[in-house]
Amino acid sequence: MTGTSVRVGGRRAAIVIAAIGVFLLGAAPAWAHSELERSDPPNGGMVAIGRSTLTLWFTEAITADASSFDLHTQDGAAVAVTVSMSEAEGGGVVQVEADPLEKATYVLDWRVLSVDGHPSTGSVLFGVGIRPVAPASGSNLPEAPAVLLRWLDLSAIMLAIGALTVSGRVLGALGDKRSASRRRARFTGALAAGVAVVSGAITPLLGTDATWATLADTSWGHLWLAREAALVVAAGALASMGIHADDSRARVRTAAIALTAVALLEARAGHAASLSSGSGLATVASAAHLVAAGIWAGGLAVLAWCLLPIMRRNPHARGPLLGSAWRAYSPRAAIAAVVLLATGLYEAGRQLPDLHSVTSTLYGGAVAGKTALLALALALAGINTLLVHPRLAEPVGRFLARPPGWAPVSLRRFVIVVVAEVVVLCVAVAAAALLTSVPTAREVDTAAQVTAPQTTNADGLFITFEAVPAGRDRSRVIVRAESTVKPGPGPIRGIEVLLVAPDGTSADVTLHPVELGRYEAEIEAPGPGAWEAWVAVQRTSVPDAVATIRWTVRAAAPASAGRLEVTTTALAALLLTGLGGAVGILRRRRLPPATPRDRVTAGAGSRP
């Protein structure tokens, strides 16, 4: 009967995990931060006195209840506005209406929430009747409270995963002393999961003022609520395991499924889902990355919390503890470290367009910093591994020409090295919190491919020129012209544009009026290179005003994977293949258990 129930429970667990995978990976991808694509007036531009309508175009549809728009002068005097929103071509369009604006410099601060739950903020600075002093600028760094909260959230999830990892066979290797340590580990995991629930509840408050609209009306909110529910289940299962002090398969399975769901939901609500292709595999890789980090970093922290006090109080117990719990944990940590490295390489290749983005973007810098910290943590982990496994230290000692029984550090230093490894991993989690709080380098690169509106003054006219995508291989030329003096010298009766391509060829384009002061025409999409436009504004009773506009069209990002992505994906596949082969070999040639002589040799390192 017991065997049958275990098989039934295993089938149920497999069905639940499969259902979660189908739900998550079947969801629509292409999530990204909703950024300001363009505005009228443009950032740093100028409009005529009496302007009353401001328009903003965003790259993603936005949630009205969770977005805000505030207009004020550069001196801080607020201006009352009314806001209306609509959708066009997959993006969001916002119109801000105000009383006719007087001559001054104004700032329009916006804070929007895209339909997938990603918040974005920014400002548009413009002049009415005068040229503004400088374009609005802001720091690319996210707010410190948001990063700190994200660090706490990720650390708590990792601790919960680590507690579940070490509370089984790892601490079970302690023999008669296992009960107290297991109970401490499981209660630590339950507390960590509870902290993650609280930090997850606070997260939407920092992203927007309309928390309920964020959670109830966005796809990101639905995933976040599901994540919170899974964390509650995991906390309950871990607490129950600590109270009953048993290894009930049902409780262990419940906690494992719940934490797996948390990792998948975290991945699906993060950067992996913003990829235009292969988002399903990226989601799995991101979830595996979080689980591996929990096993290594979280497991190490929980193990240190449970065993280091014993080792400090009772030096004679150091050798036996190294030969039991630490040795049992070491292979799990090694496997997790390889998986962490492989999935991290894969994610970096998907989110970094090229090596230049490592130094040119905040996201790339955070990836580089995290990589350096993980390399340092791996070095410390290697020292601990050699100390815990004397059999592995022997060939290393022979290679370094050390005497028999060599160890990288004395047993008295083991506690210091473990604490140092935990600290380094905590800082690495902080780097992960930063890079998950900012747009990826690929998102930044994609946004940069949109040509910003070009502005100029000509014969008392303020002219804005832009070419925006209008479908496959087509673009729409938009010219706005407004008089900067009152009364104007003559009404505008038409606009002609001479486009000069990078190769020197030219074409005449006649624009048609769309609304007062706005003219448009559709053309073939400009190819990459330096372009020039001669804009002739035809007016009644006065000569034409001619302005020269120059801009550069960037080459579109290639649809196929770049060199960096191919290289990192290949390295990740090699690492995982090598890991699978090594595990298979070790399972067939399992090392014998530690002998008393091994433990005496390990204990000898504790002497000065």
pLDDT of residue 590: 61
Q: How far apart are CA 205 and CA 392, in angstroms?
A: 50
Closest CA to 277 of 350, 213, 363: 350
Neighbours of 290 (CB within 10 A): 24
Q: Can you tell me whether residue 121 is helix, strand or coil?
A: strand
Predicted pLDDT of residue 79: 92
Three-state DSSP state, 123? strand
In this prediction, residue 181 carries a pLDDT of: 84
DSSP class of 65: G
Instruction: Show Cβ contacts of residue 234 under 8 Å, excluding neighbours closer than 6 positions.
Output: 160, 189, 193, 254, 255, 258, 259, 262
Number of neighbours of residue 122 by Cβ within 10 angstroms: 17
Long-range contacts of 438-441 (CB under 8 A, 24+ apart): 438/140, 438/142, 438/362, 438/363, 438/366, 439/32, 439/33, 439/35, 439/363, 440/271, 440/274, 440/351, 440/352, 440/363, 441/351, 441/352, 441/353, 441/357, 441/358, 441/360, 441/361, 441/363, 441/364
Integer-rounded Cα radius of gyration of the chain = 30
If 0-12 CB within 10 Å is exposed, 13-18 middle and 19+ buried, where does residue 466 land? buried
* Nearest Cα to Cα of residue 220 among 90, 73, 66: 66
Considering the domain delimited by 450-556, tell me its CATH architecture.
Sandwich (2.60)
- The contacts of residue 489 (CB under 8 Å, 6+ apart) are 459, 460, 483, 539, 541, 542
> At how many degrees (to 10) do helices 327-351 and 441-448 cross?
0
State which amino acid sits at residue 64: A
Nearest to 534 by CA among 500, 492, 562, 494: 500
Pairing verdict, β 46-47 and 119-128: parallel
Give the Cα separation of 315 and 325 in Å (integer): 16
Is it true that domain 33-135 has CATH number 2.60.40.1220?
A: yes
In the chain, domain spans = 33-135, 142-446+559-604, 450-556
d(CA 179, CA 167): 10
My answer on whether omega of the bond before 353 falls inside 30° of 0, hence cis, is: no
d(CA 455, CA 466) in angstroms, rounded, equals 9
**DSSP-assigned letter for residue 112:** E
Spatial CA neighbour of 357 closest among 476, 258, 427, 444: 444
Go through 31-47 and write b for each residue having 16 or more CB atoms within 10 A of its CB, e for each that does not. bbbbbbbbbbbbbbbbb
Q: What is the pLDDT of residues 416-445, one digit of tens each?
A: 888 899 999 999 999 999 988 888 877 776
> Distance between CA 407 and CA 127 in Å, rounded?
70
Alpha-carbon gap, residue 442 to 444, rounded angstroms:
5
- pLDDT for 388 equals 79
Same fold, 33-135 and 450-556: yes
The tens digit of pLDDT for each residue in 175-187 reads 666 778 888 899 9
Low-confidence stretches of the chain (pLDDT < 50) are 1-10, 13-14, 17-18, 21-32, 135-139, 591, 593-608
